[in-house]
Amino acid sequence: MIVRVSDDGRITIPARARQKLGIKPGSVLSLDVGDDEIKIRPIKSVADVAGIFSDSAEGNTTDWETAREQAMLAVARQVEAETGH
């Protein structure tokens, strides 16, 4: 895809690319600048990946630290149940 840079330095991400990557208004993107390229990637929020933690989540947290702690505790409980330790 080819896009044009506006006078104020903005580009428009074509609809087809936004749809493919799930980019919507308010999405957070990562911009990586290399020697001769720019990579733009969407950043997933906790809410976007909440299904990954559905078995261990305790409520609807949107905080990564809380989600990580809940997942670690769930894994520890599962290991303890399976090994008896």
Domain range for 30 is: 1-43
At residue 48, the pLDDT reads 59
At residue 70, the pLDDT reads 78
Residues 6 and 25 in one domain: yes
Token pair in block for residue 63: 């905080």
C-alpha closest to that of 29 among 55, 54, 16, 11: 11
For residue 7, the tally of other CB atoms under 10 A from its CB is 5
Residues 1 and 29 in one domain: yes
Q: pLDDT tens, 13-55?
A: 999 999 999 899 988 899 999 999 999 998 876 655 555 555 5
Residues 16 and 35 in one domain: yes
**H/E element holding 32?**
strand 28-33
At residue 72, the pLDDT reads 82
- Alpha carbon distance 36, 26 (integer Å): 27
- Quote the pTM value: 0.51
- Alpha carbon distance 59, 17 (integer Å): 33
At residue 64, the pLDDT reads 73
What is the number of domains present in the chain?
2
